[in-house]
């Protein structure tokens, strides 16, 4: 079974937008999963429910 990895991309969204786009593109071309803080909800709900 092929392993899949999740990469956390951390930075301020506006300041490093171009750099984040390049990093996310590189992660996707490796068929892996990029994730950043903007993908998390600020709601008080359980993350598994979201």
Domain boundaries, the chain: 1-50
Structure confidence by residue, pLDDT tens digits, 2-45: 888 899 888 776 788 899 899 999 999 999 999 877 766 667 77
3-class state of residue 24 by DSSP = helix
pLDDT, position 25: 95
Q: How far apart are CA 39 and CA 31, in angstroms?
A: 18
Give the long-range contacts of residues 39-42, CB within 8 A, separation 24 or more: none
Q: How far apart are CA 35 and CA 7, in angstroms?
A: 6
pLDDT, position 28: 95
pLDDT, position 11: 75
- Residue 35: its H or E element: strand 33-36
Contact 23, 8 (CB under 8 A): no
**Average pLDDT value for residue range 43-48:** 67
pLDDT, position 2: 83
């Amino acid at each position: 079974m092929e392993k899949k990895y999740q990469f956390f991309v951390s930075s301020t969204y506006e300041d490093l937008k171009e750099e984040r786009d390049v990093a996310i593109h590189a992660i996707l071309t490796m068929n892996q999963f990029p994730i950043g803080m903007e993908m998390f909800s600020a709601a008080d709900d359980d993350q598994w429910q979201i």
